[in-house]
Structure 1
Amino acid sequence: MLAKSAPLRPAPRLYLATPEIDDPARIMTPLADALASADVAAVLMRLAPSDPRTMMSRIKVLAPLIQNSGAALLLDGHADLVARSGADGAHFTGIEALQEAMPPLKPDRIVGVGGLSTRHDAMVAGETGADYVLFGEPDKTGDRPSAEAIADRLTWWAELFEPPCVAHAANLNEAQVFAASGADFVLVDDIVWNDPRGAALALTDVATAICQGFGSQGSAQRADHPNGDAG
């Protein structure tokens, strides 16, 4: 009797990052359209630098729109604003920032981390208790690994570790490749907000690319186990 193959992993979900927000009114309509166009698991809110009171007001304007859509609201940094604003968590860059943020935010809030330049950094993040690790985002100079290197890191993580992995996709092809490589979530930003057709159509295209990538991964796995459903 042939052993059954391992069940296919769930389809990756969308993680949408906003542009840097200084005036919430400018993004409210395109954000609402985007959230209505696809299944978005979480929104990463990036705030333009300002005083805490002003940033709090920006968060509170957009939080109901995001959370009422069923998406989690994460702040890009600003651990001190998470609980006061009602956000669901925050994302941090680098191990040191992650470790500083853990005590006030865990276990009630989501804490994610990027800026993981080595596999060792990623493993330390997992051991520290990060709820997810992000691969492929640009650094402060705009540089990022090749798509092949990001896909390799995703596959490595997905095969060995339990916490979800997020892939930053700069284009539709990357979204498709990363979905096939093991990403649990695909984070997108500029390809949505800079699309002249509007954020809703752009995000729909990303969702389609993710489905295509995940479908190709599933087909490959089934081909490797042609009798996987045999009892």
Structure 2
Amino acid sequence: MTLQEDRCRLVLVLPESENAKAIETQLQEALATGDVASVIIPQYGQDDQAFQQRCEALVPEIQAAGAAAIIAGDSRVAGRVKADGLHVTAVSELKETIEKFTPKFIVGSGGGAERHTALEIGEMRPDYIFFGKLDGDIKPEAHPKNLALAEWWASMIEIPCVVLGGTDAASALAVAETGAEFVAMRSAVFAHPEGAAEAVRQINAILDEKAPRFEA
């Protein structure tokens, strides 16, 4: 999750799917098309063995493309597949996870649904905070509450924030305009009518052209 660009960067969230090969192909095409900072692989309802098999196939491809592979699931799986990081959805588990796995892994946190909890998360010093649920992209636009949280956070906290966009690729701009360092996209990429590669191209074009620049 490095800030290699001077503007908001794209994070991909893999969708839940019964067709793992199709998702892997889409991901390969997306990673080959444009800048992707990282890919979050949620466990969803998979058992550890099936999830590990999925990650074993995906993590090397993600890393070969220069992106960070972030596991949202069992930390043992993350270790076995040599992932780059862990995404923690339960705030109650964050402190222990940071103590156990930093700096070996990037450790990021979801769960910051309102300001008080977000500040509690910030006090634990994760590598990033994620505003939104990994599968919460149910409308074309990003959720207004997540945008408001990101704008508030980015104006006062140094820890980078990742904000879930909507199902429309164009929603990336509203996220960037909050000052967030990263915009996370799931359906906007993997359910894009022209394919994942075109989605990544469009999102990066929008961010290149219109996203505010960070001060050096």
TM-score by length of 2: 0.86
SS of structure 1 residue aligned to 2:120:
helix
The match for 1:90 among 86, 94, 104 is 86
Paired letter, 1:39: D
User: What displacement does 1:182 show?
Assistant: 0.5
Match of 2:178 in 1: 181
Counterpart residue number, 1:54? 50
Shift of 1:138: 6.5
- Alpha carbons 1:90, 1:111 under 8 Å: kept: yes
Matches within 5 A, 1:135-146: 135-137=131-133
SS of aligned partner of 2:58: helix
> Structure 1 172/10 Cα, relative in aligned 2: closer, same or farther at 3 Å?
same
**1:168 alignment counterpart:** 164
Summarize the Cα distance change of 1:46–1:149 in structure 2 as closer, same or farther, 3 Å threshold: closer
> 198, 201, 208: which one pairs with 2:198?
201
| Residue 139 to residue 66, structure 1, CA distance change in 2 (3 Å) | closer
How many residue pairs match? The answer is 209
Answering whether residue 41 of structure 2 is matched by residue 45 of structure 1, we say: yes
Residues 47, 55 of structure 1: 8 Å contact kept: yes
Residue 119 of structure 1 and its aligned partner are, at CA, apart by: 0.8
1:161/1:19 CA distance change after superposition, 3 Å: same
Match of 2:189 in 1: 192
Q: What stretches of structure 2 of length at least 5 have no aligned partner?
A: none
Q: 1:108 to 1:117 in 2, by over 3 A?
A: same
Give how far 1:150 is off: 2.6
Rounded to whole Å, the distance in 2 between the matches of 1:54 and 1:154 is 34
1:69 to 51, 65, 70: 65
C-alpha change, 1:155 and 1:28, in structure 2 (3 Å) is same
Q: Match for 1:187: what amino acid? A: A
CA distance in 2, matches of 1:11, 1:71: 16
How far, CA to CA, are the matches of 1:128 and 1:157 in structure 2? 15
Structure of greater Rg? 1
CA deviation profile, 1:5-31 (whole Å, cap 9, x unmatched): xxxx92111100111255532222111
Cα distance in 2 for partners of 1:150, 1:56 equals 31
Alignment correspondent of 1:104: 100
- Distance apart, 1:51 and its partner CA: 3.5
Inter-partner Cα distance in structure 1 for 2:182 and 2:29: 20
Contact 2:11 2:183 in 1 (8 A): yes
Answer 1 or 2: which has greater helix percent: 1
Match of 1:153 in 2: 149
In 2, the alpha carbon distance for the partners of 1:172 and 1:197 equals 11
Residues 163 and 180, structure 2, Cα contact 8 Å, conserved in 1: yes
Identity of aligned residues (%): 33
Structure 1, unpaired ranges of 5+: 1-8, 223-231
